[in-house]
Amino acid sequence: MTKVEIVNEVAKATGIEKIQVQAVIEAAMEAVKGSVIAGEPVYLRGFGSFIIKHRAQKAARNITKKTTLTIPAHNIPAFKPAKVFLEAVKAK
């Protein structure tokens, strides 16, 4: 499902104009993004959490050149689904 499809579904379900729905969805996504970038997890009850995961430094190999590279430690955004959401998906 794309962002446009989400906007259409929400507009149809609520009766609000698509332009207003799109503005709200964009603002919500920016708020989530900004919070995660600032290091604060976002918890949406019944849906899941947007969190930051820390990846440790590790060694990787380039097998064609037979060299070893060091991948530095870094953070990545991650989504952890809520238990209710996870169970609903597993039941399908």
- The pLDDT tens digits for 22-42 are 999 999 999 999 999 999 999
Q: How far apart are CA 35 and CA 84, in angstroms?
A: 24
Contact 53, 73 (CB under 8 A): no
Q: How far apart are CA 54 and CA 49, in angstroms?
A: 15
pLDDT digits (tens, 9 = 90+) for 45-78: 999 999 999 999 999 998 899 899 999 999 999 9
Give the pTM.
Answer: 0.79
